Amino acid sequence: MEEDLYWFRSYWPNDDMSPPIEDHPLVQQDAVILFVSEAIEYFLRKRNIRAKMDEDLYWFRSYWPNDDMSTPIEDDPLVQRDAVILFVAEAIEYFLRKRNIRGWVPEVDLQELRANNTERRYFNDTIGQSINLRTAEWKSFQLATDNGFDLDSWLESDHASSEDYVAIYLDEIRRDTWQPADRIILMLSFACTICRHAVAKGRNHLVNAVLRALVRLFMELYPYEWIYRNTEHWAYVFIYFAQQDERADPKAYLQGG
């Protein structure tokens, strides 16, 4: 701990000052993330600074209307960070489970997140099916490698650099995907694909780095709740066209990441 803070313990006493400071309960990481996130959110809100959405998605709001389309998009409810963490974590878990890959230890408590977000669980089997398609895996991995992603180098990267490295290529996938409604699906598919390789190599920390990178980008680029509720519809459309493509050329997507 920062040593100078030791003395402030006596100025702001807790219920029992008798135990040594080393015996006090440690703070949970989720609580610290929430503490910092709420501080940032409060600061920006007081200055009326809103998140900047992936601009192309603006038009998709009218295709899948919410309860009241008369309100400006800036007034739509913002998505909660915990709900986005759960969304991404469940995507990774689903992808690995479908391939019978075990060994990922999430740095977040999925059971607690599910219990606290019963009305905000956006991931479902339809989205899971879309990110598991060979088309999604192949397209997303190809977009990343075309922009310079090196899987072997990433698998050997340290904890500090792995998250930022992945974030660069996740955003490249978004930028290079022409259809805005496909972007979340392809970003998820790429993230899950490289997580598969990380688990196989016993690099659990890399999977958690991917989770953090994707949550960070989603919170910045997809800040509104309606986007996550609509992802199921976009997944249906993606599955339909992907299956058509695979039937037309079965060999085209045999090699994924």
Is residue 96 within 8 Å of 195, Cβ to Cβ?
A: yes
Is residue 96 within 8 Å of 196, Cβ to Cβ?
A: yes
User: What is the predicted pLDDT for the residue at 218?
Assistant: 96
Give pLDDT tens digits for 42-78.
Answer: 676 666 555 566 666 666 665 444 555 556 666 778 8
Is residue 82 within 8 Å of 216, Cβ to Cβ?
A: no
Nearest to 198 by CA among 137, 253, 257: 257
Q: Which of 17-21, 22-26, 117-121, 204-208 has the lowest mean pLDDT?
A: 17-21
Give pLDDT tens digits for 204-255.
Answer: 999 999 999 999 999 999 998 989 999 999 999 999 998 887 776 655 544 4
Query: Model's pTM, two decimal places?
Result: 0.75
User: What is the predicted pLDDT for the residue at 244?
Assistant: 84
User: What is the predicted pLDDT for the residue at 40?
Assistant: 74
Query: Which residues, listed in sequence order, are joined to residue 78 by a DSSP beta bridge?
Result: 224
User: What is the predicted pLDDT for the residue at 26?
Assistant: 80
Angle at 14 between CA 11 and CA 18, to 5 degrees: 95
Length of the chain: 257
CB count within 10 Å of CB 19 equals: 9
Please give the Cα distance from 162 to 257 (Å, whole number). Answer: 18
**Is the dihedral angle over the CA atoms 64, 68, 70, 72 positive or is it negative?**
negative
First to last CA, the chain: 43
Q: Which of 30-39, 88-97, 152-161, 224-233 has the lowest mean pLDDT?
A: 30-39
Give pLDDT tens digits for 122-168.
Answer: 999 999 999 999 999 999 999 999 999 999 999 998 867 899 999 99
Assign 3-class secondary structure to the chain. CCHHHHHHHHHCCCCCCCCCHHHCCCCCHHHHHHHHHHHHHHHHHHCCCCCCCCHHHHHHHHHCCCCCCCCCHHHCCECCHHHHHHHHHHHHHHHHHHCCCCCCCCCCCHHHHHHHCCCCCCCCHHHHHHHHCHHHHHHHHHHHHHCCCCHHHHHCCCHHHHHHHHHHHHHHHHHHCCCHHHHHHHHHHHHHHHHHHHHHCCCHHHHHHHHHHHHHHHHHHCCEHHHHHHHHHHHHHHHHHHHHHHHHCCCCCCCCC
